[in-house]
Amino acid sequence: MISLPDDIIHSTDEVLVKLAQSGVLKAEKLLIERYRETVKITAAALASSFAAYCALASLEFDDLFQEGLLGLLSAIYSFRDDKNTAFRTFASKCISNNIKTAIRSATREKHTPKGGVVSLNDIDIPSVTSLEDSIISREGASGINTFLKTELSELEFSVIRLYLADNSYREIARKLSVSEKTVDNAIQRIRGKLSKFLNNK
């Protein structure tokens, strides 16, 4: 039985991450709520800086916001506190990297827009905190992103995107035209697959 802090809502990010990785749904939800604004800020900055690329690939703010949330989820489950890096720093990098990767992927088969558009590698992402100088490994996060996009069924991937966007089970069920029980079962399967993926790394 996992022991929860008496005042979990005021726990540090690192404590919440450990709880989330141990299967505590409330800790995961608190982290998503805590970083939702960071995701919005980063998505907005990239949407503005790479407007030509996004237009070319028909990417809208909501698309980038969803990719940022997937990056956040990756950060939660790939973070290791033995790297001398704060979770906030790690999460900020995972969020921005995931959005950049989505833009690159969407424009890979397109023609590069003209007019001296800045390189996707040169963007300086504004964050709620300044990024530390520590080196952050992206292997764990990118591995989870690959897992999310390749190992989940179409329904499961749709469910996790809507869940991360703060939709209730009822709202998800309505938008996907399925029952709330189907949504709950999908969430449980996703957690099981994610747990198995992490334990086999």
Output the pTM of the full model.
0.75
- Cα separation, 75 vs 140, in Å, equals 8
Query: Which residues in the chain are classed under CATH 1.10.1740.10?
Result: 11-136
What letter does residue 4 receive in the DSSP assignment? P
Query: Which residues in the chain are classed under CATH 1.10.10.10?
Result: 151-201
Domain 11-136 has CATH 1.10.1740.10: yes
Exposure letters 6-15 (e unless 16+ CB within 10 A, then b): eeeeebebeb
pLDDT per residue of the chain (201 residues) written in tens, 0 to 9:
566 777 888 899 999 999 998 888 889 999 999 999 999 999 999 888 888 877 877 888 888 998 899 889 888 988 888 767 899 999 998 898 888 888 887 776 555 555 545 555 554 444 443 333 333 444 455 666 777 778 889 999 899 888 888 888 999 999 999 999 999 999 889 888 877 776 665
- Cα separation, 177 vs 74, in Å, equals 27
Q: If phi over 0 gives left and psi between -120 and 50 gives alpha, with beta otherwise, what is residue 55?
A: alpha
CATH number of 151-201: 1.10.10.10
Q: Report the interhelical angle of 25-49 vs 61-78 (nearest 10°).
A: 140
Which residues have a Cβ under 8 Å from the Cβ of 16 and sit 6 or more positions away?
8, 27, 28, 30, 31, 34
Q: Please spell the DSSP secondary structure of 26-85, one letter per residue.
A: HHHHHHHHHHHHHHHHHHHHHHHHTHHHHHHTT--HHHHHHHHHHHHHHHHHH--TTSS-
